[in-house]
Structure 1
């Protein structure tokens, strides 16, 4: 990593050439070259707390001098804490730190702390050592004595700065804070002798004045804050979103900069004949004659055998460590690693040179003033067979199979003896996958029963390096976290039964292999049973916002490079008979520098899908945005699913024996996860309980939910256990659970459930008392009326219940919920049937999901003796919602009454799901023929 010396968000940044240096703080008057600011002490008590921010830079004789004068008002205790300690950093090998003013202004009087003998302490503190950054900077710090709320604090200091690497060249980078930042007086001045070749540039979106000549110097002065910045869209290229900076320097061109920097790196890469680094190169050459393989092995050596440490001591920010020193120390920064790699490649006869790059905002590089400060990183360019390979010694996992990847830096500046212009780092498709996923889903149990899955993820490139650490450490807790996240993130109800993590060092390939169980991937919608199997097109979105006038000429940045592959195989139920692909099985389309391909087929009882997504680094020009948006929209609609035949068998249609057989593997998988779970991890137990509930093993579900409730009770858990208990006919216990749920979360809906169960147990008085005590708001009146009417009806007060619903319908006669409640009540109690069908039809017409309302109307038809009409409504309801147990139960009753044997099948399917239906309907005199 290249580092520039100095610079905070509201400070300056400056670098230059030969000068003196020291580790002691110097106390001197304001230098003659500075144009000081004097503020009237009587007026600085007003306005913003920041009263003065004055930056001044002088470039002269190869030295950059930087001066800063600041006055801040201590308005509150927080400011007293923040401003009560003053500290400045500087690089002693490159220059000095001078303190010119250190004052407290109180009630118009100036307290000169320097005259009082207050001194700064000097400490060497490597604050970023944990990030392997040893920059050699010193910190001068002091606690301001006697500072009080209401005071003004004024500190003026300057530094001299020269960088051993730049010779007589100089540079300054100054941040220009924009509004709404406030300051009483703010300015930035850069000056240099008339006749000195100095260039300047500010941006982005900064208006620059022309320099003025005074006393033989050019003065470039900008008042701050500058104008408020226009917000930029997050998808704009970085050059539009960069901080506003003023850049000033003596470099005439990129070639000039390249030529100035080059000798240091060429010298550092020279090897001693017969030395250790030369021997390393010879060892690599003995392993292969292929220059690409040699380059990859050399890069791997530097990445793996030399740790990262930025050593900024003694001019190290721009001066590289010698290659042989780097190998001897086994540590170095990006410059040291690049020089070592360069020396290896050159010895092997590979055309290579070091290049400067920017890891952030590289797209702006051609628009910037040529300065070393524009760069923060160094890598190596190796040209083999006419192809440029960009090799980064500080990265990881570079191998011959992936070293063709072009990092997203946009431009590089090669350091060549004759100088060089910027060269584009042209993006190209990856020759490896970042992620390659292979997945097999065993759905043979049925479209609505759990599936078994096997998955494999191969991670290539730098992303694979983490797997080497995971494999080496073999930490059970890490494995557990990965196991848990993969199961639940990939599938609903997903639980991993087996996981394996490996790392192939030769290929730099990290692999995760998983096996497990999850909910079925098929869903019923619009009368069809389908499973969505298109993966990449769901992420095909491109909707840049360019509505603001200031944004209309801004292109859209695209991320890259990237390449992922997804391969899915689904083993279908019933040998795949009747299953078909719906959508776009073949696809090759692009949008916004992204290409998606797909190939899918159904054969041999299996669905196979292969998709690839390739993303390119770059931009979408404004003129191309509409087309890219249309292409993305079209791709997002290129869905693919596998559709089950209409003859599919649902789980409620299977007898107990077949259901057990089909779910045996899933049951075993869930149980395996439960047994291996930590005592305090209830997620596997929750998944198994939900599975048991879904296959109507209510006793098993109660047992699992009980284990969880014993340790971590929640209202939802009590309620779902109550549902299971009701299905088992254990209403008394269900009432206890519902009461426990209400105690944890006193929701009215819970009380309504409780009241209806109490009524079924013959405790209608308690139920009415419970309902009447509830705090019922206006938006809860419909459910309250429905619940109270139900209780009254069960208690034998049928007319009272009907009247309650009718009174509520007077106020809300268009409510589908109320209309359905009224329809159901009339059918259930066989009351007011003369107008019931009309009420039911109104409910059907207003319902968003009419399946339940059709079931209510079918009951009315049945009570009126219109069995054919009832069957028609029941079939319509079941078409919308297969397995609706109420409809299956009533349909079975009607078919048996009509002498049709299939009625028994319908009854069995209904009671398999909802065993309590028999007793519930019997309350109202509805029972199947014996």
Structure 2
């Protein structure tokens, strides 16, 4: 219910001077209705730098007067710089800027700058031109002469507004700031004659007293700042967290707003039969008899042939320019485009009317005071064959296929003769996906090889129109920048070897084709090899928080409208033999205002999957939220995985020739990606270097890391190259690179790597000095003491080494990592074997991933001569992590000692993965039987 103050007997009448619109500021005393604030007490006290903000509004005789009195203390050089230049704005076609005072308070003295002849210069405000905005406002600016730190600057002015479009009607709005805004004194005052019917309203959280009658005028006063509002969930509808605004106006209801605004649009859309606009309509009608097609062609003409320019000059904020003028000048704002579209549709006998909408307030509009200021946009509402169509001339890329899409404005106010009430903009599914992505993936090289990928993505609607600009620019650097977006952290992160973009103007469809190479889509986790099939259904972000009691009755806003489609075609390894789908291949589920479909199947050597997601603008009622949560979790539980056969072929099981053959197309794609990337993008080179290392082409990988170390040096590049030097037997280069890595990143883990290398090189004192120089936290102490044990053992001081190791375990006696470190140390240095198995077993029992602990226990069993037990533990480790080169090597040694089959195969695999293992284990006395 909006509050209305009806006419009351006048005690006295205070007349306001009429507005004389002008393009120069006026310099006059404050109007008689202004109650000037006193800041003497604020100046004398320490407090916020902003001493005063006094907003006073008077609505009278169709004129809105806005008085502002502001005072700021200049506390520091930054404040002096910010306050030295002051600007005031007004709309000269609607009223005046009246400057009342400009004063400096200094040491008890008041310096009257206006009296000294200081005035404002006038600039036409054009800073919005780059955004196609020319709002008709003028800016008055002044550089305050003589302003110093410690001064108080105070400026008071009034802006009058008599809007041509509103006639005798009037409106005003005032934002009401809340804490933690700091100010000495602040208030907002609204007044109007008691014999004028003025409606007013404010958000429910503000409790205002009834207006006070004084001298024939009603007054509302709000002391500011308001109390800080209670927090509101971000996913609440707009009406729950809209800004707090005091609104006032002479409009009784939405019907009156509609009736006042309608004649301006009807008159502007009235074109003569011999006008160019009428000729345009006849041209469209000559091409098609279908009213829908006609409407689509009219929308396209307005969107494409008339550029956008917000023309706020000469009453343009609410008054539209005529359809004939818009077509003649070929530019206009939303009002102009709407009027032109309206004229075209009416000339073709299509039922159409202009409607006001709000792009910001959305669902909150019905709760606002009926004012034109509640809206910031206007579009066309057409009815064709009984269906509502919402046509926006300022949008882009609308075609017949997307004509029925409903924009996200929630409510519209039709502008009709006699008025109309708000109508809901009922949502429906988008006619076409805004984005359709089809991914073709060649994964035939193997489950642990990368995949060649082609992504074909189509965009429709405004997004497609934005892509047209990229096509027209034909800028390679822009394409390279777009390509970087595909190398992120998603499952389909890829190195782009080519990117092509095209735009079909007739269909308004932008097409993007991206080719490249993506990381392997199969993951081995705890003995399970799987690939998740995601056909676009991602509900992870749906997690509304309504735990606070005050939030339990707040709905959840759902964004929209949205529609996306996804398709995948994957060529499977091994011809697809033995591959199966685990989960539900077909789903059709939903939650809230979201629906998801998916279907998947295996056809020969290909996986085929499609999915589509629909989302509607709206909200989920609090009572429906538990069901929506459950439904979302149900979708998450309907996962689908592609499962390879148990007998897969790993890359390390292939011969060098087989591996090279499978890698060749991938390396070609990496080479193209490196050539495609700009000179500062090293990600494709990094990806190729890591791939080369993964297929054991260490020399080629080293060459890439040499480039990285030279062109983009980093701790990671040096440490990675250090491993390659080790694999290739260059221990000097290995140590040098690791030291370089540590110099770039003083990480304790890197320091331990360097210390171990120094110790194995016989430089024990240097290793100890490095370790003793580190700042070691409690969390790091286990690893610190373990390395001290390694240094002592390498020097032959096994008793000292065992003491260090005992201290390490004492730091975290129940830690799987500490116990495994002790187990590994004992096996490697062949000490403390008598109770080592117990230590190792406790580590295995506590580990989340037991592969490393099983490998360590296998080493103990090997030392004890229990080769069959060692083989069993190593089988277990490799079942969890098949790529553990150390486990393959140790299993080869154990099999040789046990004289069982398979030793040579394990040895070949281990040395293929890590050639340095033979020297390492031999150094510790772990060799084949003689």
Partner of 2:13: none
Partner of 1:469: 469
Classify 1:111/1:350 alpha carbon distance in 2 versus 1 (closer, same or farther; 3 Å): same
Partner of 2:739: 739
CA distance in 2, matches of 1:627, 1:893: 59
Q: Decide whether the 8 Å contact of 2:755 with 2:771 is kept in 1.
A: no
Shift, 1:43, TM fit: 6.8
Shift, 1:616, TM fit: 0.8
Residue deviations 1:568-591 (CA, integer Å, cap 9, x gap)? 122111122222212222211111
Partner of 1:282: 282
Alignment of 1:448-527 (within 5 A): 448-488=448-488, 490-491=490-491, 494-527=494-527
Does residue 927 in structure 1 map to residue 927 in structure 2?
yes
Partner of 2:27: 27
CA distance in 2, matches of 1:283, 1:179: 59
Shift, 1:22, TM fit: 1.6
Partner of 1:4: none
Shift, 1:145, TM fit: 3.3
Q: Decide whether the 8 Å contact of 1:751 with 1:770 is kept in 2.
A: no
Shift, 1:407, TM fit: 0.8
Q: Decide whether the 8 Å contact of 1:17 with 1:166 is kept in 2.
A: no
Shift, 1:918, TM fit: 1.8
CA distance in 1, matches of 2:731, 2:66: 84
Q: Decide whether the 8 Å contact of 1:134 with 1:311 is kept in 2.
A: yes
> Number of residues paired by the alignment?
914
Q: Decide whether the 8 Å contact of 2:352 with 2:380 is kept in 1.
A: yes
Partner of 2:893: 893
Partner of 1:386: 386
Classify 1:816/1:61 alpha carbon distance in 2 versus 1 (closer, same or farther; 3 Å): closer
Shift, 1:842, TM fit: 2.6
Residue deviations 1:777-797 (CA, integer Å, cap 9, x gap)? 354443344334434444555
Alignment of 1:161-180 (within 5 A): 161-180=161-180
Alignment of 1:628-777 (within 5 A): 628-760=628-760, 763-765=762-764, 768=767, 774-775=773-774, 777=776
CA distance in 1, matches of 2:31, 2:758: 92
| Secondary structure of the structure 2 residue equivalent to 1:631 | helix
Q: Decide whether the 8 Å contact of 1:41 with 1:108 is kept in 2.
A: no
- Give the TM-score, by structure 2 length: 0.94
Alignment of 1:541-552 (within 5 A): 541-552=541-552
Partner of 2:907: 907
CA distance in 2, matches of 1:334, 1:573: 56
Query: Relative to structure 2, which stretch is displaced further, 806-815 or 457-466?
Result: 806-815
| Secondary structure of the structure 1 residue equivalent to 2:165 | coil
Query: Relative to structure 2, which stretch is displaced further, 307-316 or 559-568?
Result: 307-316
Classify 1:170/1:808 alpha carbon distance in 2 versus 1 (closer, same or farther; 3 Å): closer
Shift, 1:255, TM fit: 1.3
CA distance in 2, matches of 1:543, 1:199: 40
Classify 1:226/1:399 alpha carbon distance in 2 versus 1 (closer, same or farther; 3 Å): same
Shift, 1:550, TM fit: 3.0
Partner of 2:63: 63
CA distance in 1, matches of 2:469, 2:712: 35
Partner of 2:8: none
Classify 1:771/1:223 alpha carbon distance in 2 versus 1 (closer, same or farther; 3 Å): closer
CA distance in 2, matches of 1:680, 1:212: 69
Q: Decide whether the 8 Å contact of 1:63 with 1:162 is kept in 2.
A: yes
CA distance in 2, matches of 1:185, 1:694: 69
| Secondary structure of the structure 2 residue equivalent to 1:530 | strand
Query: Relative to structure 2, which stretch is displaced further, 907-916 or 94-103?
Result: 94-103
Residue deviations 1:86-116 (CA, integer Å, cap 9, x gap)? 3321112111222223333344444333333
| Secondary structure of the structure 2 residue equivalent to 1:100 | strand
CA distance in 2, matches of 1:708, 1:184: 59
| Secondary structure of the structure 2 residue equivalent to 1:553 | coil
Alignment of 1:425-444 (within 5 A): 425-444=425-444
CA distance in 1, matches of 2:222, 2:821: 75
CA RMSD of aligned residues (A): 2.4
Shift, 1:39, TM fit: 5.4
CA distance in 1, matches of 2:144, 2:590: 62
Residue deviations 1:488-514 (CA, integer Å, cap 9, x gap)? 455576211222111111111111112
Alignment of 1:13-412 (within 5 A): 20-38=20-38, 45=45, 47-412=47-412
CA distance in 2, matches of 1:230, 1:237: 15
Residue deviations 1:837-893 (CA, integer Å, cap 9, x gap)? 222223323333221121121122122222221121111111111122222222223
| Secondary structure of the structure 2 residue equivalent to 1:353 | strand
| Secondary structure of the structure 1 residue equivalent to 2:164 | coil
CA distance in 2, matches of 1:550, 1:874: 57
Q: Decide whether the 8 Å contact of 1:696 with 1:912 is kept in 2.
A: yes
Classify 1:492/1:863 alpha carbon distance in 2 versus 1 (closer, same or farther; 3 Å): farther
Query: Relative to structure 2, which stretch is displaced further, 374-383 or 135-144?
Result: 135-144
Classify 1:879/1:146 alpha carbon distance in 2 versus 1 (closer, same or farther; 3 Å): same
| Secondary structure of the structure 2 residue equivalent to 1:874 | helix
Residue deviations 1:799-836 (CA, integer Å, cap 9, x gap)? 55344424544555444334333323333344443222
Partner of 1:7: none
Does residue 603 in structure 1 map to residue 615 in structure 2?
no
Q: Decide whether the 8 Å contact of 2:498 with 2:516 is kept in 1.
A: yes
Query: Relative to structure 2, which stretch is displaced further, 267-276 or 69-78?
Result: 69-78
- Give the TM-score, by structure 1 length: 0.94
Does residue 574 in structure 1 map to residue 574 in structure 2?
yes
Classify 1:313/1:803 alpha carbon distance in 2 versus 1 (closer, same or farther; 3 Å): closer
Residue deviations 1:120-171 (CA, integer Å, cap 9, x gap)? 2223232222222212222223233343433333332223211111111111
Classify 1:929/1:663 alpha carbon distance in 2 versus 1 (closer, same or farther; 3 Å): farther
Classify 1:488/1:107 alpha carbon distance in 2 versus 1 (closer, same or farther; 3 Å): closer
Partner of 1:852: 852
Partner of 1:841: 841
Classify 1:255/1:809 alpha carbon distance in 2 versus 1 (closer, same or farther; 3 Å): closer
Q: Decide whether the 8 Å contact of 2:535 with 2:568 is kept in 1.
A: no
Residue deviations 1:352-399 (CA, integer Å, cap 9, x gap)? 111111110121111111111111111111111111111111111010
CA distance in 1, matches of 2:857, 2:138: 85
Q: Decide whether the 8 Å contact of 1:17 with 1:64 is kept in 2.
A: no
CA distance in 2, matches of 1:342, 1:528: 63
Classify 1:720/1:770 alpha carbon distance in 2 versus 1 (closer, same or farther; 3 Å): farther
Residue deviations 1:603-631 (CA, integer Å, cap 9, x gap)? 21222221111111001111112221222
CA distance in 2, matches of 1:334, 1:674: 46
Q: Decide whether the 8 Å contact of 2:480 with 2:677 is kept in 1.
A: no
| Secondary structure of the structure 1 residue equivalent to 2:538 | helix
CA distance in 1, matches of 2:188, 2:763: 84
